[in-house]
Amino acid sequence: MRPVNLIPPDLRRGDSAPLRTGPLAYIVVGALALVLLGVTLLVLTSNEVAEKKDELVTLREEDAAAKARADELAPYAQFQAMSQQRVETIASLADSRFDWPRVMRELALILPDDVLLTNLSAGANGETAGGGEGLEGVAGPSLELNGCTSGQDAVARFVTTLKDIDGVTRVGLQSSAVGEGGASGGGGEGCSVGGFAAQFQLVVAFDAAPVPIAAEGEAAPEAEEAASGEEETEESGEG
């Protein structure tokens, strides 16, 4: 005998049960899943945007607080800058000081017995340097020595001896003459009393020494000369 299934087709279960609704249910479920995914992404994006806005507000508040703090500390920063500038100025002035006492001590130690100094002048910015043989002008500290000695050979030996002073870079012979009154500014009276034969005028240069800083408000010699020249030109033009 052949078995017969007496259960109605719509009540059957299992693989042999026919579809009740077709593929429409799957389409609806897929659409709902897409909608749920979209809503989830939208919520996440909205939350992230809100967090970024809160962070931006916080950063602006911190920036405003930092600016206010900087404005409060600005006077202290200005005072620090002024203090640093003064320290640098003092240090520069200290570095540019020239040790004249040491130079005088060394000059006294090396001064030969047959040399008499009748005049000595010093300058920190080359004021005493008037040029001479081997000197085209001195910008740094310098000594100008006028005196007398026994002869030209003694003058040459004295020039060589002066180079032993620490820091001396050049020794220029401005004039040297044998006979009474032969050298300009040589102190002829002292030389004649001592019975010396030669008079000399020397310039000792310390080119490697730092040049002292001029005081504030002090005009440079070149600037003063240029200003006086302009004033004379204007006066001659008006005349």
Q: Give how many domains the chain has, as a whole number.
A: 2
Residue 1 lies in a domain: no
Residue 220 lies in a domain: no
| pTM given for the model | 0.48
Domain final residue, candidates 51, 71, 97? 97
Tens-of-pLDDT digits for all 239 residues of the chain? 677 766 776 666 655 555 555 677 778 888 888 888 888 888 889 888 888 888 899 999 999 998 988 888 888 888 888 888 888 777 766 666 788 889 999 999 999 988 999 899 888 766 554 444 445 567 778 889 999 998 899 999 999 999 999 988 889 888 888 865 444 444 455 576 566 788 999 999 888 876 655 544 444 444 444 444 544 544 444 44
- What DSSP string runs through 111-146? --TTEEEEEEEEESSSTT---BBTBS---S-EEEEE
Q: What angle do CA 57, 62, 65 make, to 5 degrees?
A: 125
Asked whether the CA dihedral 27, 33, 35, 38 is positive or negative, the reply is: negative
CA distance 100 to 73: 45
Q: Same domain, yes or no, for 93 and 124?
A: no
- What DSSP string runs through 209-221? SPPPPPPTTPPPH
3-state SS class at 199? strand
CA distance 206 to 118: 22
| Helix runs in the chain, H state only | 24-96, 100-110, 152-162, 188-194, 221-238
Q: What is the pLDDT of residue 209?
A: 77
Residue 181 lies in a domain: yes
Q: What is the pLDDT of residue 108?
A: 92
Q: What is the pLDDT of residue 137?
A: 65
Q: What is the pLDDT of residue 88?
A: 79
Domain final residue, candidates 39, 71, 97? 97
Q: Same domain, yes or no, for 136 and 57?
A: no
Contact 115, 154 (CB under 8 A): yes
Q: Same domain, yes or no, for 44 and 111?
A: no
Q: Same domain, yes or no, for 24 and 76?
A: yes
Q: What is the pLDDT of residue 159?
A: 93
CA atoms within 13 Å, Cβ hemisphere of 234: 6
* Site of tokens 């043989």: 133
Contact 140, 151 (CB under 8 A): no
Region of residue 195 (phi > 0: left; psi between -120 and 50: alpha; otherwise: beta): left
Q: What is the pLDDT of residue 202?
A: 92
Q: What is the pLDDT of residue 194?
A: 60
Range of the domain at 148: 100-205
Domain final residue, candidates 97, 125, 159? 97
Domain CATH number, residue 195: 3.30.70
In single-letter form, the type of residue at position 63 comes to D
H or E element in which residue 200 lies: strand 198-205
